Amino acid sequence: MKYEIQGGNLPVVVCSLENGETMITESGAMSWMSPNIEMSTNSGGGVGKMFGRLFAGEHMFQNQYTARGQGMVAFSSSFPGSIRAVEITPGADVVVQKSAFLASEQGVELSTFFQKKMGTGLFGGEGFILQKLSGRGMAFLEMDGSCVEYELKAGQQIIISTGHLAMMDATCSMDVQSVKGVKNMLFGGEGLFNTVITGPGRVVLQTMPLNKFASQIVPYLPTQSSGD
């Protein structure tokens, strides 16, 4: 499989497939394809995984796109930002926010990743449920805005504001810490808690989380009067 990411801030990944190669997506993100691409919809690993995806807020079924001869299929991001290609290899699992997965080769396995600490899920802003990518193959992730990568050493930490975590290696751990100082908590505008990621491993952050983008445009949306 060969690929090319195009489109700038409204990105699409165009995948060129050899005969028999298959791409999978959970989001119905296919934008266009050649006529010899065969689409099929299935549970993606059985009833257990199907309901696991439903519990995680994803679609119950997966779409598969298989080339019958050399073919092409394209997947578009659902929000202005960027698409990042990540190579998944055995023993090098990655954890992503549940809305980040766009598409992957068939050898990549998706599973639900639960936060081990209740406080992290309640207050960290990243949610109880993330997705883990394992197996082997290329995966494509959609990021809100641009993405910035850090490589953390063992014990090294980075503090992240709510929603900015897009991906981390499964070797990293996640926790929360409260914002220090009463005035900072009440008037700082950054919320009460931050997410803390501890290495070793890679962390990928996104510059414009969808929740922050939504909060910025709300004041400019037209309001409906009670008389309408």
- Reply yes or no on whether the pLDDT at 126 is more than 80: no
**DSSP per-residue codes, 89-148:** BTTB-EEE-TT-EEEEETTEEEEEEE-SSHHHHHHSSS-SEEEEEEESEEEEEEEES-EE
Whether the per-residue pLDDT at 49 is higher than 70: the answer is no
Q: pLDDT digits over 166-220, tens only?
A: 999 999 998 887 665 444 444 444 556 788 999 999 999 999 876 665 666 667 7
pLDDT of residue 198: 95
CATH architecture entry for 2-214: 4-Layer Sandwich (3.60)
Domain boundaries along the sequence of the chain: 2-214
Tokens of residue 76, six digits: 């578009």
- 45 pLDDT band, cuts 50/70/90, is low
